[in-house]
Structure 1
């Protein structure tokens, strides 16, 4: 896993994309960086346009205003995460393998899109509209991850716990740990962090098979 490589480096960047999409990508990156650095309220549309190297009118061509741009950041960020999860999980996959892959994918996403994650944690609960949007997006996450938890409970691999609590714990555990280490100086040993998170989650919810192994 890499260090802070910034928002939108893969999914939002395409050499063959139309000019309008390229400008929207640049607005995404500029707004994510500025909102994370200065906060939503202190960031102006002029600053976003300047950082994205577009005219101020371009911002309003794509978005009604700063609030709509913020909601786009949250929605697009979660959409990227969901696409990565969907591409990683396969039908019939052992639920323990699925959980390991979920932790890995989420850590990679949070490291790559760390500005977006900081914005969500700091600003997404500010208004009822933001709260509703974030909850709507998280419900999509809970639906997919919840099916893995249900599978594990049926197969007697996971203790019969509330699946929403399990999903929220998995999401919160990975995002907060990732952001904690991303804000520290120096290299991050992602392999060690991933292993420790797996151990914490598995030992907490996975039934011990008696052989001393997680898988």
Structure 2
């Protein structure tokens, strides 16, 4: 991502996070990025295109880290632990991005349908490890897709916890506590 697009990426996340999709304007994004409106339009023809860009780029950052875990020579439970660490670190590092994504998951607009599809693709990477752990007898059999969504959701709830608490919280403690809680839900005692 070039320097200008990175500025737009960061600015758009901030504006969408603060104003919501409907309240955000191209003017606001350009001003926040310190760019002329023409420069913004040179790179992106509309607010919708910018929104899709930030979702695509943000999820690309997260997915690339998870795909690195998927090729590691470690067991499915260890992969799930690493995915927990990655997702939580990502959610805390990109809190505004998380707010934008969560605010747009509901609705029938094309952008919302596309966002749900991208989130489902990410969750399918979690499901791979759930299936593997079940096949190995490490966790109880069940609906792997539902369990993967629940796994994802428990991690997202930690980001919501952080957004409600104004004081700085210790990320490492949140990660350990969330991993322990999430794995116990799968029937795994993790210390």
Please give the TM-score of this superposition, normalised by the length of structure 1: 0.82
| Structure number with higher relative contact order (C-alpha < 8 Å, ≥ 6 residues apart) | 1
**Which whole-Å CA distance do the structure 2 matches of 1:158 and 1:99 have between them?**
12
Out of 181, 184, 192, which is 2:162 matched to? 181
**Which whole-Å CA distance do the structure 2 matches of 1:174 and 1:54 have between them?**
35
Partner of 1:73: 54
Q: What are the ranges of 5 or more consecutive residues in structure 1 without an aligned counterpart?
A: 1-11, 13-20, 208-212
Partner of 1:214: 190
Evaluate the alpha carbon distance shift between residue 111 and residue 127 of structure 1 in structure 2; reply closer, same or farther with a 3 A threshold. Answer: same
Compute the displacement of 1:43 (Å). Answer: 2.0
Compute the displacement of 1:114 (Å). Answer: 0.9
Conservation of the 8 A alpha-carbon contact between 1:104 and 1:194: yes
Deviations 1:114-153 (A, max 9, x none): 1111011113434431232112212321332211111100
Compute the displacement of 1:110 (Å). Answer: 0.3
Deviations 1:82-132 (A, max 9, x none): 011122343431111111111110110001111111011113434431232
Partner of 1:201: 182
Output the aligned Cα RMSD.
1.8
Conservation of the 8 A alpha-carbon contact between 2:124 and 2:148: no
The correspondence of residues 3-14 of structure 1 with structure 2, limited to 5 A, is: none
Partner of 1:104: 85
Compute the displacement of 1:34 (Å). Answer: 1.2
**Which whole-Å CA distance do the structure 2 matches of 1:59 and 1:190 have between them?**
35
Partner of 1:30: 11
- The reply on whether 1:171 has 2:147 as its aligned counterpart is no
Evaluate the alpha carbon distance shift between residue 73 and residue 123 of structure 1 in structure 2; reply closer, same or farther with a 3 A threshold. Answer: same
**Which whole-Å CA distance do the structure 1 matches of 2:64 and 2:30 have between them?**
28
Please give the TM-score of this superposition, normalised by the length of structure 2: 0.91
